[in-house]
Amino acid sequence: MLNSLSGRFLILTVVFVMLAEVMIFVPSVARFRQDYLISRLERAQIASLALLENETISDDLQKELLQNAGVFNVVLRRDEARQLVLSSPVPAPISATFDMRNPTALELIRDAMLRLINPEPQVIRVIDQPVQMAGLLIEVTMDTKALRTAMIDYGLRILWLSAVISVITAVMLFLAVRVFLVRPIKGVIEHMISYAAAPEDARQVIMPSAGVRELREAEETLKTMQTQLTQALRQKDRLAQLGAAVAKVSHDLRNILTSAQLFTDRIEMSEDPAVKRMAPKLVNSITRAVHLCESTLAYGKAEEPAPKLSLFMLADIVQDVLDSERLSIGDSDVSLSEDVPANLTVRADAEQLYRVIANLVRNARQAIIATGNSGEINITAHEDDNYWKIRISDTGPGLPAKAREYLFTPFQGGATKGGTGLGLTISAELIRGHGGHLTLEYTGPKGTAFCIDLPKGNILG
C-alpha cells in the first residue's frame, strides 16, 4: 500500500495539509491571544463604569467586578490624569507589559508562542485604548494561567479540525488519483503484459485513450514502439522463412549450375571467334553463381561468410561488372564508363567485391531505365594512405524518400517498384565484413553516388 503511487500520494497529501494547517495555526493562536487580552480590557472598562457612576462601592462588589473581568486591577487615564479605578491584591510582581495599541504581526506571534512554551503562571500588564473613546488609556494586570489554558484549548480545537480536514482531503485526493492516474497506468501495464505475450499480434498494440495529456503522450509513444517492434518481428520471420527457402533453392540450383559448367568446358573448345570471346565470361558468371549458391546468398544464413582476402587488380573486377551490365542494357540509352587505374591493386575478397559493385551498378541502371531517359553510370577508384576508395555514380533520378529513410534496411529500402532493398543491405554487410564502409555520398534529381571505403590496415593487415 505505502509503496504504491496512490499510497505515497496519500501520505504526501496528509503531510502537506498538516504543514499548511501549522502555518495557519501559528497566526490563529496569536490572533486568539490578542482577542483574549482585548476582551479582558473591555470587561475591565465595563467594570470600571460602576465606580465612575458611584464614587464609592463596597469591597465585595469591587472584588466581584474584578473577578468577572478576570483582572487584578484596572487603571483608567482620563484627561491626562492616571486613576486607579479598581484594585485587588496582586499575587506576584509584574513580569511583562504588553501594549495592544499598535502591535506588529511578528510581535503578536512571538508573544503567543512564548506564552505557550512557558508553563509558569505570571502576572502581566496589558495596555490599550478604551473603547468608544472613553479615555486616553486603560491598563490592567492579570494572571497568565487562564490565558495559556484558553490558548491551549483553542489550539487543540484547531489541530483536531486540521486533522479532520487533512483526512477528508487526503481521502478525496487518494480516490481522485486512483481514478485519474492509477487506473489508466494499470491499463497501460495490462496492455504491455498482453502485448508481451503475443508481440506479433497487431491486435495487442495499445490504442491511446487516456484523458490526461501526459498519459496519452505515453500511450502514443508506447503504440509507436509496439508498432515498430511488431513490424520488426514480422520482418524477422520473413527473413527466416526466406533464408530457409533460399537454402533449399540454392542446393538444387548449385547442382544445375554444376552441370552447366560441364557444358561450358566443351563450349570453350569451339573455334568460333565470338564463342571464344564470350565463353570465358560465361564460365566466370556460372562460377560466381555456383559460389553464390554455396554460400547461401540473400540472407539464407544469419550472416555472410568471412571474406577470403587476396591481392588482385581492381580494374579486372570493374571490367567484368561493366561487361555483364552491357548485356543487360540492350537497346536502352544508358552509357557505362570507368576511371580505374590499371595498376591499382586491392586486397579483398574478389567475389564479394564483385557482388557489391554489381549490385550498385545494377540499381543505377534499373533506376535510369525506369525513367525512360538517357543516363550515365561511372565507376572511379583511387587510394590514399589508409583506404582504397571506389565510387559508383549515376545521372539517374535519385533515391526516393522512403529509400533514403530506410537505406540498407531489407524489404523497406527498395529504390524501384517491386524492389526489396536486399541489394544495398547485402552490399553494406559485405563491406562491413572487410572492416570498411558503404556510404551514400549524395542523391538528388541530378543523380546518386555511393562510396566504398576498404581499409588497408587493421583486419586486412
Boundary (domain end) residue, out of 153, 171, 189 = 171
The helix (run of H) or strand (run of E) holding residue 266 is: helix 213-267
Give pLDDT tens digits for 89-106. Answer: 888 888 888 988 888 888
pTM (2 decimals)?
Answer: 0.44
C-alpha grid cell for residue 56? 464609592
Q: In the prediction, which pLDDT does 458 show?
A: 47
Cα–Cα–Cα angle for 291, 293, 298, rounded to 5 degrees: 110
Interval 113-134 mean pLDDT: 84
Q: Confidence class of residue 418 from pLDDT cuts 50, 70 and 90?
A: very low
Interval 448-456 mean pLDDT: 94
Same domain, 449 and 324: yes
For the cut 90, the answer to whether the pLDDT of residue 313 exceeds it is yes
Residue 160 forms part of a structural domain? yes
Residue 15 vs residue 144, higher pLDDT: 144
Same domain, 37 and 137: yes
| Burial category of 352 from C-beta neighbours within 10 Å (exposed 0-12, middle 13-18, buried 19 and up) | buried
Interval 315-321 mean pLDDT: 92
Give pLDDT tens digits for 177-200. Answer: 777 777 777 777 777 887 777 776
Q: In the prediction, which pLDDT does 94 show?
A: 87
The candidate with the shortest Cα–Cα distance to 399, out of 381, 379, 380, 421, is 421
Same domain, 20 and 45: yes
Same domain, 43 and 71: yes
Number of domains in the chain: 3
Same domain, 24 and 111: yes
| Burial category of 35 from C-beta neighbours within 10 Å (exposed 0-12, middle 13-18, buried 19 and up) | exposed
Interval 344-349 mean pLDDT: 94
Interval 437-445 mean pLDDT: 92
Same domain, 29 and 132: yes
For the cut 50, the answer to whether the pLDDT of residue 231 exceeds it is yes
Residue 440 forms part of a structural domain? yes
Give pLDDT tens digits for 254-308. Answer: 555 655 655 566 566 666 676 666 666 666 666 666 666 655 444 444 455 678 8
Which residues have CB under 8 Å from 77's CB, separation 6+?
A: 83, 135, 136, 137, 138, 139
Least reliable range by pLDDT among 151-155, 230-234, 426-430, 456-460: 456-460
Cα–Cα distances (Å) from 363 to 68, 291, 379, 444, in that order, read 109, 22, 14, 15
Boundary (domain end) residue, out of 284, 302, 320 = 302
Residue 237 vs residue 352, higher pLDDT: 352
Same domain, 142 and 50: yes
Residue 188 forms part of a structural domain? no
Which residue segment(s) compose the domain that 281 sits in? 199-302
Same domain, 165 and 18: yes
Residue 21 vs residue 334, higher pLDDT: 334
Residue 425 vs residue 78, higher pLDDT: 425
Render 132-188 in DSSP notation, one character per residue.
GG--SEEEEEEEHHHHHHHHHHHHHHHHHHHHHHHHHHHHHHHHHHIIIIIHHHHHH
Residue 312 forms part of a structural domain? yes
| Burial category of 206 from C-beta neighbours within 10 Å (exposed 0-12, middle 13-18, buried 19 and up) | buried
Give pLDDT tens digits for 146-166. Answer: 889 999 999 888 888 877 877
Residue 184 forms part of a structural domain? no
Residue 190 forms part of a structural domain? no
Same domain, 443 and 344: yes
Helices 105-117 and 5-53 pack at an angle, to 10 degrees, of 100
Same domain, 401 and 452: yes
Residue 411 forms part of a structural domain? yes
Same domain, 17 and 162: yes
For the cut 80, the answer to whether the pLDDT of residue 49 exceeds it is no
328: domain CATH number is 3.30.565.10
Residue 206 forms part of a structural domain? yes
Same domain, 241 and 380: no
